[in-house]
Structure 1
Amino acid sequence: MVKLASESGLSLPEILFWRQLPTIPIILLLLWSTGKLSQLRSKRLGQHGMRAALGIGGMFLNFGAVTLLPLAEATSFNFTSAIWAVILSALILHEKVGLWRWGAVALGFAGVLVIAQPGSGQVPVFGASVALGAAFMIALISIYIRDLTKTEGSLTIVFYFALFSLLALAILLPFFWQTKSAEQWFYLIALGVSGLLGQYLLTSALRYGSVSSVIVMDYSALIWAALLGWSLFDRLPPATTWLGAPLIVGAGLLIAWREQQLNIARNRSHTIEPS
């Protein structure tokens, strides 16, 4: 939807604004109808504001990558979020990262080089940089959301993200407003509804699963990106994408496997009773 809206002539700030707008009335209506409006009470508005600031930056990069690159390539670079998550866990959470996961990081970035083919001109350097930046932001935001879910509900997190980001995007809107065709309105409405659903599902997933496990599930997106790129934009991924993407996916799976092994070991150590 973002790529179709962009190619129809809509600007990125306006796409972002309309993607967020339906979220607030839909969530308010849902909570009101179930008598759960009190869920929106929060003592962590500052943290919600920070999450929104990170989210806006991530959305600009993520949507920008889709407009600058073919869908499959943008999606493949997006997979490096699991790799960034390892790096951030070492830098921010001071988690000890061993040889297995550092090896996965190296494997993943090797896949990036295979896809990007630096110097060949096959993939725009700027577009690839934006896509990698978007993946970095996804990893950072996932860690931040994971912390918020300790005290906040999924709908509460999504609501305040939409509220704070809309206030910021509304400042930019007058500079990018344009008269829209029926086709453009369709793209914006579809983007808003699907964006809300996707945001809710992602936030809920991060509540019930680890960051690394949830990110691994994103790998099925490459199949959808390839199918949509072929059916809507008449673009099939080149051989380098099919060679590089498995390296990135393999790195993510290796990271997920290693973290699962570490969690099992930690759980076993906690269940051992002192003699």
Structure 2
Amino acid sequence: MDSDFPHPMKGITLKVMSVLVFVCMSTLIKAAGTEIATGQITFYRSAFAMVPILGYLAFKGHLRTAFHTRDITGHLARGFIGILAMSFGFYGLVHLPLPEAIAIGYAMPLLAVVFAAVFLKETVRVYRWSAVLIGLIGVMIITWPRVTLLRDGGFGSQEALGALAVLLSAALGAIAMVLVRKLIAKEKTHTIVLYFSLSAACFSLLTLPFGWEPLPMNSFLLLMGAGFCGGVAQILLTQSYRYADMSTIAPFEYTSILLGLLIGYFLFDEVPTGIMLLGTAIVVGAGIFIIFREHRLGLERRGARKHITPQG
């Protein structure tokens, strides 16, 4: 283990905790019902996430410096793309079984490899391209039964539109990851986290004329809890990268499908199909291979640097 990351088990624990809290967030949003406007959901998710984030920054003494930025345009672009991704994702979440929405969302890190190669000119070799292709085939296996509903039920099929919405959310989320990669080069992590929630809440308010309705107390509390969970999960995720490198903790993202299967079955009476499980296994396998490949390349690069002489 690299000396910069002396506590890998602590990093893994924080990562798993973040996954658990993110799944709780999704569960609360799904439980709030299908009649709430998507923009209203994203507002509550973003606005109430600010509560734990601001509290954490104040506790760490970073609150004043967190608002200092050298790239407000970059934050706004990331916030706009991020809120679009969140909106489509939440639409799919409330119209699809929970584990299915989670599994389709796994397309995001696969597409991020593609976009990093295109926009950031990162080198992607045949192994990772092959894994991305296989993973996307897995995503198509999961979504195909839903997409065929377009043929049978037209564009009024909410399940079909939900599947397409999650796919679009994954693509937009991958673009947001590219934007974050650019921001990291010049901005602090807590500044990026803070400005995302702030800009996402502001952009969500633009949808106020489009279907917002007064919420019953039950739905209000569920969405408030979802927002709070989102903020806590973001803090846990950010902290996890302080104690272990990305290739160590990234595979634990896939514990979310296990949680999704359990919660979907016991709370929403959702029974996964064999096709959905097959496609999920393919996607998860491809994602883990990409992570493993990144880890091996990272080790090779560190080894190469150690053998470079002072003369080069």
State the TM-score bracket (shorter-chain normalisation).
0.7 to 0.9
Match of residue 58, structure 1, among 85, 88, 100: 85
Contact 1:11 1:176 in 2 (8 A): yes
Match of residue 22, structure 1, among 48, 51, 76: 48
Aligned to 1:47: 74
Aligned to 1:111: 138
Q: CA deviation at 1:167?
A: 1.9
Aligned to 1:171: 206
Contact 1:58 1:134 in 2 (8 A): yes
TM-score between both structures, scaled by the size of structure 1: 0.88
AA at the equivalent of 2:36: L
Count the aligned residue pairs: 274
Distance 2:239 2:58 in 1: 20
Match of residue 170, structure 2, among 130, 135, 155: 135
Contact 2:97 2:264 in 1 (8 A): yes
Q: CA deviation at 1:113?
A: 2.8
The 5 A counterparts of 1:172-211 are 172-205=207-240
Aligned to 2:98: 71
Cα distance per residue 1:100-143 (max 9 Å; x no partner): 11111121122123223357549944322221222222322223
Distance 1:209 1:130 in 2: 33
Match of residue 262, structure 1, among 297, 302, 307: 297
Aligned to 2:12: none
Distance 2:248 2:64 in 1: 31
Distance 1:96 1:201 in 2: 30
Secondary structure (helix, strand or coil) at the match of 2:101 reads helix
Structure 2: unaligned runs, 5 residues or longer:
1-27, 151-156
| Cα 1:35–1:65 shift into 2, 3 Å | same
Match of residue 232, structure 1, among 267, 271, 275: 267
Q: Which has the higher contact order (CA 8 A, sep 6+)?
A: 2
Secondary structure (helix, strand or coil) at the match of 1:42 reads coil
Distance 2:144 2:204 in 1: 35
Distance 1:210 1:88 in 2: 22
Contact 1:79 1:218 in 2 (8 A): no
How big is the alpha-carbon RMSD for the aligned residues of Structure 1 and Structure 2?
Answer: 2.6
Distance 1:31 1:219 in 2: 28
Distance 1:95 1:253 in 2: 19
Cα distance per residue 1:152-201 (max 9 Å; x no partner): 33332222112222222223224433222221122111111111112233
Identical columns (%): 30
Secondary structure (helix, strand or coil) at the match of 2:271 reads coil
| Cα 1:117–1:20 shift into 2, 3 Å | closer
Contact 2:264 2:270 in 1 (8 A): yes
